[in-house]
Structure 1
Amino acid sequence: MKITNEQLQALQQEEAKKKQRSAAPGFDSLLAGKLQGTEGTEEAQAALPPPGAGAVNPLLMVQQTTQQASSVPLSGVADSLDGMLDNWENYSRIIGQQGAGTDLRSAYSTLESIGNDLARIRQTVPDLDARHPGMGQMVNELEVMTTTERFKINRGDYSV
């Protein structure tokens, strides 16, 4: 009957695994070798960034290239949308005062200014949906709301 030491075997197996890991080539060199054949591995290593250094979100890269392609910055659109949302707050405040002090003419003029701002955004940045889907969706929603509220005022839903 043979007696073996389990701890000694575990230690020997761990050392063998460490040797296999150190003897195996790195992932970067294997990838470069597969991409360019066996020759040119050193050139591929120089072209690849070090591990952990290339943590860039690809969505940000797409947004940067599309911003460079178009002459209108999206920050101007965001500022316009901010102003429109302020106008919507004014409109809702005016409509919310139904009864004695409701001024439907100022509410309608506020809607007209929002509609003009939306039309201006559509003219200056016609590809807004493609460049920034979130802003494009917001502009679409604001257009629907503006049209709906105009219809409600014209129909007489908000009476004095």
Structure 2
Amino acid sequence: MMIRPDQIEGVQPEQPQRKDKVRQPGNAFGDILNQEVARGDAPAKTQGAVPPPIVNPLIAAGNVGAVQSTNDNSAQVAGQVESILDKWDNYAATLAGPEGGLKSAYTTLDEIAGEVAALKGGQADLAPEIKSIVDELETLTATEQFKFNRGDYV
């Protein structure tokens, strides 16, 4: 393919315009980011607003339980959820490690499924925060069992 001078002449006037557009102040990403950050901080400083605290759902459920005088139940459920999450960590480590093996990983996954089913079936009046966590654990467990049975880890 040959490049002719008449083809180059059509592109040359556009190149300086593009360079000028990029060099214009206020068009760079950093400039726009600084403007947004400055705009976002200004109302908070003038109004004296404080950002909302970050709440751990497991701790919040304990606080809700104290108010509703079911603190023991919430603490027990929170402990069970933590136990299940620890087993998920063990399951992931078993799959990642060469010494673990698929049998022990499936055994751990089966234990997790049993505990999640017991937790979901045994506790009908869970706090909304913990109920959402249990629902996610149930979905994750079903998905992992499907992937395991399909042969994704073989």
TM-score (norm 2): 0.53
Pair 118,66 (structure 1): closer, same or farther in 2 beyond 3 Å: farther
Identity of aligned residues (%): 35
Q: Provide the residue aligned with 1:107 in structure 2.
A: 105
Instruction: Please give the alpha-carbon distance, in whole angstroms, between the structure 1 residues aligned to 2:137 and 2:110.
Output: 12
Measured in 2, the distance between the counterparts of 1:145 and 1:84 equals 12
1:93 CA displacement: 0.3
Report matched runs for 1:62-141 at 5 Å: 63=64, 67-68=68-69, 73-97=73-97, 100-128=98-126, 132-141=127-136
For structure 2, which runs of at least 5 residues remain unmatched after alignment? 1-59
**Runs of 4+, deviation exceeding 3 Å:** 62-68
Taking the aligned partners of 1:85 and 1:121, their CA distance within structure 2 comes to: 13
Asked if 1 retains the 8 angstrom alpha-carbon contact of 2:109 and 2:141, the reply is yes
Provide the secondary structure at the position in 2 that maps to 1:73.
Answer: helix
Q: Does 2:146 align with 1:151?
A: yes
For 1:139 and 1:113, the matched residues in 2 are separated by: 15
Matched residues, number: 94
Alignment-derived partner of residue 23 in structure 1? none
* TM superposition shift of 1:127: 2.2
The question of whether the paired residues in 2 share the 8 Å contact of 1:67 and 1:73 is answered with no
Q: Tell which deviates more after alignment, 74-83 or 118-127.
A: 118-127
For the residues of structure 1 that align with 2:67 and 2:122, how far apart are their CA atoms?
A: 15
Q: Specify the SS of the correspondent of 1:126.
A: coil
Tell me by how many angstroms 1:67 deviates: 3.4
If you compute each CA radius of gyration, which structure gives the higher value, 1 or 2? 1
Query: Could you tell me how far apart the structure 2 residues matched to 1:87 and 1:67 are?
Result: 30
